[in-house]
Amino acid sequence: MERAMMQPSDFLAVDELLSPEARAIGQTVRDYACAELAPRISEWYDHGGIPAEIAPELGKIGLLGMHLSGYGCAGTSATSYGIACRELEAVDSGLRSLVSVQGSLAMFAIYRWGSEEHRQQWLPPMAAGEAIGCFGLTESDAGSDPGAMRTSARREGDDWVLNGSKMWITNGTVADIAVVWAQTEEGIRGFIVPADTPGFSAHEIKRKLSLRASATAELVFDDVRLPASAVFPDIRGLKGPLSCLNEARYGILWGAVGAARSCFAEALEYAQTRTQFGKPLSAFQLTQRKLADMSIALSNAALTATRLGHLKDAHRVTPEQVSHGKLANVRIAIEVARTARGILGAAGITLEHSVMRHMSNLESVVTYEGTEEMHALSIGRALTGVSAFR
């Protein structure tokens, strides 16, 4: 490859492995994100939230539930969806979280496990960004162990009555509906809960130091009465919510590549323009070593995401392989962000630059949708055949 043709942020030309459609979608999302989102993200992060009004914008370009087919969804490949997540998280993890929760959690749950009535009623407005969804699984005492949830639903005649609470729920305060998982006499079941149902409330979690450009809430259910039609008809147990989490984790492993790419690009540019001791930082051996290590890590993350995208499109990817991608790529991204922050020095701690915002966000990304420990144990079980979760 000629030096003039080399792209520093894609050193191994990994994007050449993508289909023309995936590359075109990536460019469309990148152009939109750079023009409409990047100029405003520092303000949103500083303020502590993303305006819900951007959801229809995301719907217009087909980003909400884009990997689902029918019901107003774009029906793209899994790889194309991953590329879109990469371009959104290159701006901010909160943007990708909004799209992930909408499409891979709330919409996917309805698409995969809901009734046809649920799909017809909710998926078209959610794809258009006219309705926002959230996903209620995690509780304050049931994070990595969702089977220990205390939220419960009991039958009263033909109705269900829901009680309990959910914690750390993205989109919770702006959602029109919540997909809620609860204990019942028949095992764990999923319910669609419209936000205007009496007894339902969402409370903003404030004073966050990470994912500030994202709505995070506690959901509370106080004798929330739901009709029989609100329950997902067939799925029981943790298979339902875990299948949704696997979809979201897939988007995360792509998004982490975007965050790492942005941090690397900013560090490279800064090192080439910041002068110390009469020469740019990029002329120092120690800085070049840091940049080389960051480039290698970024390439490895991109290759991992692309391979998993191709496996997912071939219907061959396993949850353990997705765990590999989520653990490896988020770990890479946070190390790249920390190294980039160091290259920028004191300038790196301000919102004039993106690296510490990304670094802070990734502290949440490394935890949600499965901690490093849970993904390591998932991989370990696949390797040894022995479960070490308990």
Span 10-43, pLDDT tens digits: 999 999 999 999 999 999 999 999 999 999 999 9
Closest CA to 37 of 67, 20, 58: 58
Query: Nearest 5°: phi and psi at 336?
Result: -65, -45
pLDDT of 192 above 50: yes
Q: Which two tokens stand for residue 250?
A: 């897939």
pLDDT level of residue 390 (50, 70, 90 thresholds):
confident
What's the fold here for domain 14-128? Butyryl-Coa Dehydrogenase, subunit A; domain 1 (1.10.540)
Span 61-72, pLDDT tens digits: 999 999 999 999
pLDDT of 1 above 50: no
Relative orientation angle of helices 285-313 and 239-273, to the nearest 10 degrees: 150
| H-assigned helices in 145-284 | 239-273
Closest CA to 370 of 337, 322, 313, 304: 322
Beta-bridged to residue 180, according to DSSP, are 136, 191
pLDDT level of residue 185 (50, 70, 90 thresholds):
very high
Cα separation, 15 vs 145, whole angstroms: 37
| 14-128 and 133-236: identical CATH topology | no
Cα separation, 104 vs 78, whole angstroms: 11
Cα separation, 166 vs 142, whole angstroms: 9
Q: Which two tokens stand for residue 32?
A: 């939109």
Looking at domain 133-236, does it have CATH number 2.40.110.10?
A: yes
Q: Which two tokens stand for residue 330?
A: 């988020």
pLDDT of 2 above 80: no
Buried-state track 214-251, b at ≥16 Cβ within 10 A, e below 16: bbbbbbbbeebebeeebbbeebeebebbeebbbbbbbb
- Would you state the pLDDT for residue 6? 77
User: What whole-number percentage of the chain has pLDDT above 70?
Assistant: 99
CB contact at 8 A, 90 and 258: yes
pLDDT of 234 above 50: yes
Cα separation, 245 vs 38, whole angstroms: 27
User: Which DSSP state fits 2?
Assistant: -
Sole residue written with tokens 């993205």: 170
pLDDT level of residue 5 (50, 70, 90 thresholds):
low
Cα separation, 123 vs 66, whole angstroms: 11
Domain ranges of the chain: 14-128, 133-236, 239-384
Span 360-377, pLDDT tens digits: 999 999 999 999 999 999
* Mean pLDDT, the chain, integer: 96
pLDDT of 112 above 90: yes
CATH architecture of the domain 239-384 equals Up-down Bundle (1.20)
Mean pLDDT of 166-188: 97
By annotation, the residues acting in catalysis are 369
pLDDT of 74 above 90: yes
Mean pLDDT of 221-230: 98
Span 303-352, pLDDT tens digits: 999 999 999 999 999 999 999 999 999 999 999 999 999 999 999 999 99
Burial of residue 159 (CB within 10 Å: 0-12, 13-18, 19+) is middle
CB contact at 8 A, 264 and 295: yes
Query: pTM of the entire structure?
Result: 0.96
